[in-house]
Chain A
C-alpha cells in the first residue's frame, strides 16, 4: 500500500519564478492538505482540498494556489517566488474531513535564490 508521495524531491528556483509541486495521496484517501515548514519550525497550514475544492485556507497570500484532480491527487502552485518561500513543502492526506488522521508525505524542498 503506497503512502503519500510527492514530487519533485528538491527544487531550486529563482526569485520571481513560478513553481508547481505535486502530491499523490495515500490509497483510499480523498482529502489533501498542504503545509509549509521552515527550518526549525513546525508545519504551517496552507490549505486543504476536498472534492476538488479548497475547503480551508491558512494565512498565506493568493500567490499560493492549488488544485485537486478527480483522482484526488493535488498540486500546489506558488507564483512570484520570494526568498522567504524557501522551505519544505509537505502534503498530508486523510480520508474525509472532520479530524481524521493526516498522513504526511516526504516533502519537497524548495530553495529560492
Chain B
C-alpha cells in the first residue's frame, strides 16, 4: 500500500525544472506532499483532495489523477533552496492514516 515515488533521485542545475511522481495501487482520497531537508522536520508543500481541491504554496504546483491514482509535483525554475527529499503521502480512506513513500532526493547545483 506504500505509494511508489519516481525518480528516486535527481540532480538539477539552478533554474531547471523537475517533476516528481507518486503512484498508488489503491484508490486515493488525498495526496500530501512534503519536503524534508537533512536533519529537519518535513515541511508541508501541498495537499490534493479527491474532487479537485488543492491547498498549498503558491510557487508549488501539483496534479492528482484520481482515475490513475497518480500525483505529480512540479518544481519550476528550481532554486538552491529546493534541495531536499520530497515525500508523497497518501490517504485511501479519508481517515488521516497517511502512508508515505520512500522519497525522492533532489539536489540543485548552482
Contact = CB atoms under 8 A, between A and B. Distances in A.
Interface of A: 4, 31, 33, 35, 40-45, 48, 55-56, 58, 90, 94, 97-99, 101-107
Contacts of B91: 99
A90 B44 CA distance: 14
Interface string B67-110: 00000000000000000000101010011111111110000000
Contacts, number: 64
A93 to B, nearest CB: 11
Interface residues of B, number: 26
A42 B41 contact: no
A48 B96 contact: yes
A33 B87 contact: no
**Residue in B2, B98, B100, B102 with the greatest tally of chain A CB atoms within 10 Å:** B98
A43 B100 contact: yes
Nearest to A92: B42
Given A94-B96, A101-B47, 14 more contacts: A35-B100, A42-B2, A42-B89, A42-B101, A42-B102, A45-B99, A45-B100, A55-B95, A55-B96, A58-B97, A97-B96, A99-B30, A99-B49, A104-B44
